[in-house]
Structures are given as structure tokens and as C-alpha cells.
Structure 1
Amino acid sequence: MHFHVVQLANKMHSLVRRRTTAEIRGRRGRAADPEWKARRRLLRNREDLTDEQFAKMWNPLLDEGRIGQILLTAWIAKESLRTLLALARTAADREQVGHARWKFLAWCADSDIPEVRTLAATVDRWWPEIAAFIDTGHSNAKSEGINRVIKLVARNAFGFHNADSQRLRTRCVTTRRARGHLRTA
């Protein structure tokens, strides 16, 4: 759940950057554009940015005007959502969770960015699942990881005519940790 919500927030930010650049500049982003230079940093977590990296992202976007304002508003919404999700590991009480949720939703509602408002509506729609994640700290990350490996193995095995062999190969790969002595290709 946590991964999917953050992934959704990052996709929202990329959509905002592309749409805003196209509307204001009338073209796709170019290497010389500040929003294009900052695109990777805008997708990173604040705590993973050094102060120097943060300044290289923040200051040029502030100086850029409308494009920068829109992108930084969307970035703050993403980080506010991440702050809400981070409460899962802190044993936060309902009041803290409610305040963080209100802060995120209020920021999104105050923005005039359609993608940010759509993100807020999606988070609100998913709230029972998100609240369960925050309360318990449990996630479906392991099963999602196993499903990803199964799909990858199936993609690599595309064209095999023996379905039993493909199932055995999938089983071997997904249980590799439990059987550390086996090496699969």
C-alpha cells in the first residue's frame, strides 16, 4: 500500500511537470529548463536530498515564476502525503494521524492544480486501507514483490511450450530464500 501511494504521488508530480511545461512554454521540456533539470530531485524524498541538492532544486524553481510555483506546490503535497504515511512506524495516535491527513487534504484543496486534487481524492477514497496500514504498519510489500518476480520469470519464459516447466521455474525463483542452496538462472 505504502509503495503504491507514493508511486501515485510521483506519477502525479511528473504529470504536473509535463502539463505545466506544455501549457506555459508551448513545448516539451528541454535540458535548459529549470523544471527539466530538477525533475529527478523532485521525485526524491526530502530526507534523501542534501541541503545543497535541495537548494539546487528549490531556488531555480522559485526564480522561474509560475512553473516553479506549481511544481513546488505539487512537491509539497507529495511530501505531505509521505509524512502522513511515515506515521505508520511511529505508533502515532488518532489525533496525530487525523492532523497529518487534514494538513495534506487542506494543502491539496487549496492548490489549483487538478492532478493534486485528484491525488487527494484518491487518497480519500483509499483512506480505509491507508488508515489500516498506518495503524498496523503491515503492508502487502512481500506479496507484491513475489508477484513482480513471478511476472518477470513468466516474461523471461515467454514462448516455453511446457507449462509445467514454467510453473516449476516460477516456484524455484520465488522460494529461493527458503532454499538457499539452490541456484536458479
Structure 2
Amino acid sequence: MDDPTGRLKAAWEVKEQLRYLLRTGSLADATVAKDHLEQLVKESNQAETTRLWRTVCRWWKEIGVLIVTGATTGKVEANNTSIKHIKRTGRGFINGANYTARIMPRSAARTTADH
């Protein structure tokens, strides 16, 4: 009742199909999921889902690598975010060595926690 046009449901289905595609275990399964995603995008006929579809197509090679290897840059990105946070909250540290002194223990603790 809260979605009389069905646009929200269509966008949600596109999002869920993308999540399914990214969890597939083989390129063959991913290709089938991609075809279904394309169909849902066309049916939704929304600028946002169309833009998402173009992004998936543009990054398809990299998505394939993720599916085959399971390798991501997630840990690196998390560390970079943590470092940026330290720098933003450092207020008054003007010495690069002081930043390093704060960054290294946090990175080491995060690495140790991951193992």
C-alpha cells in the first residue's frame, strides 16, 4: 500500500539481485544472475537502476575476479578509513612521526584481530 507505483519494490528487487550476483560461486552462475539483473533493470525503468546497471557492466571484469578469487580490497579500504579518521581527529599534531606513532598501533591491532 505504501508503494502504489511499484517503483520501490522494483528498485529493491534490483538491489537484491545484485547482492545475489555478487554471492555466486562461478562465472557461469554470475552470468545467469547478470542476465536476470538486466531484465529487472529494464522492467524497473528507473534512472537509478539504469545507472547501477551501467556500473555493473563497466566493472564486470573486476566483478568476475571477485567471484572467482573472493579477493577484495576491503581490509585495505578499512585501514585507509581508519588512518584518515586519525588524521582528522589529530588536531594539533603537525609532526608526521606523531601521526605514524598513532596509526601503527591501531593498524597492528586491527591486523592481529583479523587473524
On whether the aligned pair clears a TM of 0.5, the verdict is: yes
* CA pair 107-156 structure 1, distance change in 2 beyond 3 A: same
| RMSD between superposed Cα atoms in Å | 1.8
Specify the alignment match of 2:83 in structure 1.
Answer: 150
Unaligned runs of 5+ in 2: none
Q: 1:98 aligns with which of 1, 26, 31?
A: 31
Alpha-carbon distance in 2 for matches of 1:131, 1:157 = 39
Alignment of 1:1-185 (within 5 A): 60-61=1-2, 64-66=3-5, 69-87=6-24, 91-92=25-26, 94-177=27-110
Specify the alignment match of 1:48 in structure 2.
Answer: none
**Normalized against structure 2, the TM-score is what?**
0.88
Q: How many residue pairs align between the two structures?
A: 113
Specify the alignment match of 1:29 in structure 2.
Answer: none
* CA pair 178-83 structure 1, distance change in 2 beyond 3 A: closer
**Normalized against structure 1, the TM-score is what?**
0.57
Alpha-carbon distance in 2 for matches of 1:85, 1:179 = 28
Task: Provide runs of 4+ in structure 1 moved above 3 Å.
Answer: 177-180
Bigger mean CA offset, 77-86 vs 166-175 = 166-175
* CA pair 152-100 structure 1, distance change in 2 beyond 3 A: same
Secondary structure in structure 2 of the residue aligned to 1:99: helix
Unaligned runs of 5+ in 1: 1-59, 181-185
Deviations 1:143-167 (A, max 9, x none): 1111111111111113312221112
Bigger mean CA offset, 125-134 vs 155-164 = 155-164
Please state how far the C-alpha of 1:119 moved relative to its aligned partner: 0.5
Taking only the aligned residue pairs, the percentage that are identical comes to: 30
Specify the alignment match of 1:12 in structure 2.
Answer: none
Deviations 1:24-51 (A, max 9, x none): xxxxxxxxxxxxxxxxxxxxxxxxxxxx
